[in-house]
Amino acid sequence: MKKTLIILGFVTSILALILAVTPLSKMAYIPSIAALIFGVLAMYTSKGKPSSKKSIQLIFLMTIIALAVTTYKAVFNTVEVGNTEQLEQKEEQLEEESLDELEDLEID
């Protein structure tokens, strides 16, 4: 049971780290919370046994790093909106071109 929880903790913490550094960083909270839960459960199951807890500590460390990066990106990342007038003009131009192309087509 302990090994299963440690493996699940590693997988979810690595997934959280990967998502934290990608543009999908807001989704990194879900595997981070799962990794924390698996880490706590693994620590609870190994409480009475004299075994190494380095792997559980590594799970917590990776999860904390992922949460820190995700929170940093959520707080300090600003979304910049470009000039929408140019986009609207280009959209109208493309619409006119597509209408011209459709008028040129002959359907039997």
pLDDT digits (tens, 9 = 90+) for 24-47: 888 989 999 999 999 999 999 888
- Domain assignment present for 104: no
Is pLDDT above 90 for 64? yes
Q: Are 46 and 69 in contact (CB under 8 A)?
A: no
Q: How many domains does the chain have?
A: 1
Is pLDDT above 70 for 92? yes
Tokens of 75: 């707080």
Question: Counting every residue, how long is the chain?
Answer: 108
- pLDDT band of 108, cuts 50, 70, 90: low
Is pLDDT above 90 for 8? yes
- Domain assignment present for 75: yes
Residue 72 lies in domain? 2-79
Per-residue pLDDT at 29:
92
- Domain assignment present for 74: yes
- Domain assignment present for 68: yes
